């Protein structure tokens, strides 16, 4: 493992890539709750927006087969038009690669549908191209649990680092004394982080304390 990959994610060293969170792709997901994926990927997108992390949205065959980006996700970046592709592997689309290069970031945080195709393929290709890839496994989904787990194992063998969306959120915040993002982060946790968010709500309402 290279020294750079040991550095934690910061708002200044990473970019977020969200691939193919579209209705037709969700229809095929059986590895976990589709609603959980929606909650997690929207939470992840909002985290990136809070910390001003460059974010790339991409779809596959949006007009002919898979449908538009889900509205909950598009609403986070209402003015951003997703890059539409024909290729299963985003890395084989020149417009997508150009968008990645434009961010100037070498750490790529990626979530996609499906894990075994639209996450694994570009993640492995990006590793080959010299990037560090962090796969957000709970904001991604596959056609079966076996497919999801096998894809993660394949990516691990290639050097991809698995993370969860809350891990990314906390890694970007890092310190509860970071007041410029504290309120937005705790509000996001209350909206999307389940039991953890409930704990934040309790701490704020009963104890007046900071979550963590």
Q: Which residues are annotated as catalytic? A: 118
What does the block give as tokens for 148?
A: 């999801």
3-class secondary structure for 53-118?
A: CCEEEEEECHHHHHCCCCHHHHCCCCCCCCEEECCCCHHHCHHHHHHHHHHCCCEEEEEEECHHHH
Length of the chain: 212
Interatomic CA distance for residues 162 and 202, integer angstroms: 30
Strands 14-19, 132-136: parallel, antiparallel or unpaired by DSSP?
Answer: unpaired
Query: Torsion angle, CA of 188/107/118/190, rounded to 10 degrees?
Result: -10
Reading the block at residue 54, the tokens are 């460059």
């Amino acid at each position: 493992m290279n020294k750079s990959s040991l550095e934690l994610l910061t708002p200044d060293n990473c970019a977020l890539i969200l691939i193919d969170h579209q209705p037709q792709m969700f229809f095929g997901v059986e590895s976990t709750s589709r609603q959980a994926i929606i909650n997690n990927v929207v939470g992840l997108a909002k985290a990136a927006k809070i910390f001003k992390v460059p974010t790339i949205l991409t779809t596959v065959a949006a007009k002919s087969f898979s449908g538009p980006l889900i509205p909950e996700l598009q609403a986070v970046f209402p003015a951003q038009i997703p890059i539409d592709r024909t290729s299963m592997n985003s890395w084989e689309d020149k417009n997508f690669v150009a968008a990645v290069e434009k961010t100037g970031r070498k750490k790529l945080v990626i979530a996609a549908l499906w894990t075994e195709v639209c996450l694994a393929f570009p993640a492995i290709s990006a590793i080959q191209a010299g990037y560090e890839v962090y796969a957000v496994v709970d904001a991604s989904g596959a056609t079966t649990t076996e497919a999801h787990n096998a894809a993660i194992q394949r990516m691990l063998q290639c050097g991809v680092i698995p993370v969860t969306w809350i891990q990314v959120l906390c890694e970007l915040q890092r310190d509860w004394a970071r007041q410029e993002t504290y309120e937005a982060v705790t509000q996001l946790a209350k909206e999307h982080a389940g039991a953890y968010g409930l704990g934040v709500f309790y701490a704020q309402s009963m104890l007046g304390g900071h979550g963590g």
